[in-house]
Amino acid sequence: MIRALWLKKILKGRSKGVSSVIGTVFLVLIVFAISTNIFLWTISQNAIYNQAVSDTNQKNADRLNESIVALQANYSVPLPNKVKVSVKLTNTGSVLAQIINLWVFDTTMQRYGFNDTILSLNLNLNPGNVTYLTDSKAMWVTIVGASSADNFVGWFVTARGNTVALQVEQSVIVANLAQGIGSMALDFFAFRYFKYNVNKLAGYPAGNSSFNVPSRTDIAFGVVLTNLDPSKQTITLDLYSEVWIYFPKAPGQSYVWYIVNVLPDGSITTPYSSITIAHRETKMLIFASSAAGEFTKVSIGSAVENLPCALNLLLLGRIGARDYGQNIPFVALYVYKP
Amino acid sequence: MRKSDSYKRVLRFLSDKRAVSDVMSATMLAGTVVTLSLVVFAWSQSMSSNYNHQFSQSIGAEVDRLKEKLVFEYVYYNTSSTPKSVKVYLLNCGTIDSITILSVYVSNSSGWFQSFSSPSLKLLNGTPITGLNRGKEGYIVLSLSSSLKKYTPYSIKIVTVRGAMFDSSFVA
């Protein structure tokens, strides 16, 4: 009935109240459009904020899960103002970690230094990865005035901002042993020998890790030494440093291998130039020549085949400003017929 | 039909004023309502746009602040410099570039404190910068007005332009 009246009004041309209707419709549309707009937009902004919070929380969680252990750290100063840091890094966490900086503080001198160029080495460690930063991979930090006699502390910084303290190698037994018989300690288990072609050591630096050596074969010996001098001085080895073997069952039979310089590819260079080992520094030395200061091949003769022999390491040179001489025994060899 | 009849009809239509005022008033009212509605709509749109803009800026600033992360790599109290200074090494390990330091506060538990406004930020190689980018390391040097007490712990707080705060402590 009402609708019929309304239609009748429109059909008869009565327009009273039309503007109110139009106004109301417009008002409703405006309110709806704007409120919808603001509502959706607020939701989108809220989503952006929540995403940022979530990202931050994730980063914090990753940061907490990052765990690197730096063991067997060793500080030495083989060059003036240059601290060499050797260390074993293990990622014991559950996330990938990247090392970006190494800090070293000289507690004796109260000076510090850092090496931020290690970022270019891409030291990325997956969970469980172990990396040895030793020998040619060792890190270097510049500290003006540092010496081997100083005490050091160090820490790595990861890309997530964690710091990893370096835990110094505790080699009390070896140190005490070295103190008892001299300043240099021999790593007994790292003893090895090399065969070679012309003047290049085969399989350098790994060589053959054995105490059985062949006769009638040109060989050289590799020994790993650590300077554990109690007075923390640098040791310089001269050309008379040698490895000497002798046979109890064959008196008079002895052989000598003098120290030589070796390039990273295993090539022996002549003439010999002095090798220095800073305090707490570990180096592998090669003994290959029958003549001091140069390179002449050495092989063990057939007369002593199938015999055991004793090996002595005779080290000569300078320790600090004084002369140095040390005889390190302990290695026994068996000469076999190849 | 004759021509004069049709002429008369047109003339009568034009001269007939009955009900014209109703149509005109209805049209004018409707036009006014539509116009006012459009004005109100435009004004509301403008207001909501302003609100959106302000809220967007507020959220953006908050998000940027959340993304900031500064780590103290090392704090060194230099007793040999004149005046004595504190060198603070920082790393930006956050997810946003250009972290700018607004102020730094050094204080201890006994109430002493010194503030530093916009200290000069440098990369590790000494290059001055205005902001520290992602993954970059830099340092600031804070020249102290008085010496710090030896073996006493001090705290250091950094406030960035975006409003984030980072703190650490060191022993003089």
CATH of the domain at B90: 2.60.40
Are B97 and B163 contained in the same domain? Answer: yes
Does an H or E element contain A28, and which?
A: helix A18-65
Average pLDDT over every residue of B44-73: 89
pLDDT digits (tens, 9 = 90+) for A8-19: 665 555 556 666
pLDDT attached to residue B40: 84
Are B166 and B106 contained in the same domain? Answer: yes
pLDDT attached to residue A309: 94
Are A112 and B48 inside 8 Å of each other by CB? no
- Pair of tokens at residue A129: 């990865």
Partner B contacted by A323 (CB < 8 A): no
Identify the CATH homologous superfamily for domain A68-168: PCu(A)C copper chaperone (2.60.40.1890)
Contact (CB, 8 A) for A287 and A257: yes
Are B76 and B50 contained in the same domain? Answer: no
If 0-12 CB within 10 Å is exposed, 13-18 middle and 19+ buried, where does residue A256 land?
A: middle
Average pLDDT over every residue of B4-25: 75
Q: Is the peptide bond before A264 cis (omega within 30 degrees of 0)?
A: no
- What are the domain boundaries of chain A? 68-168, 172-336
pLDDT digits (tens, 9 = 90+) for A117-160: 887 778 899 999 998 888 778 889 999 988 877 889 999 999 99
Are A26 and B55 inside 8 Å of each other by CB? no
Are B59 and A48 inside 8 Å of each other by CB? yes
Are B44 and B75 contained in the same domain? Answer: no
- Pair of tokens at residue B67: 């993304």
Are A26 and B74 inside 8 Å of each other by CB? no
**A310: DSSP letter:** E
Are B92 and B164 contained in the same domain? Answer: yes
Instruction: Report residues of chain A scoring pLDDT below 50.
Output: 1, 172-173, 175-179
- Pair of tokens at residue A195: 């065969």
Average pLDDT over every residue of B101-118: 88
Is A68-168's fold the same as A172-336's? Answer: yes
Task: Name the nearest CA neighbour of A260 among A326, A212, A333, A201.
Answer: A201
pLDDT attached to residue B108: 87
In degrees and rounded to multiples of 5, residue A58 shows phi and psi of -65, -40
Q: Are strands A200-201 and A235-237 parallel, antiparallel or unpaired?
A: unpaired
**Closest-approach residue (CA) in chain A for B23:** A15
**CB half-sphere exposure, B24, CA atoms < 13 A:** 5
pLDDT attached to residue B18: 67
Domain boundary among B38, B66, B94: B66
Cα Rg of chain A, angstroms: 37
Residue A212, helix vs strand vs coil: strand
Looking at the DSSP assignment, which residues form a beta bridge with residue B1? none
pLDDT attached to residue A262: 94
- Pair of tokens at residue A152: 């050091």
Domain boundary among B66, B95, B112: B66
Are B56 and B85 contained in the same domain? Answer: no
Are B62 and B13 contained in the same domain? Answer: yes
Can you give the length of chain A in residues? 338
Neighbour count for residue A293 (Cβ, 10 Å): 15
Architecture of domain A172-336: Sandwich (2.60)
In degrees and rounded to multiples of 5, residue A51 shows phi and psi of -65, -45
Chain B residues whose CB is inside 8 A of the A112 CB are 74, 76
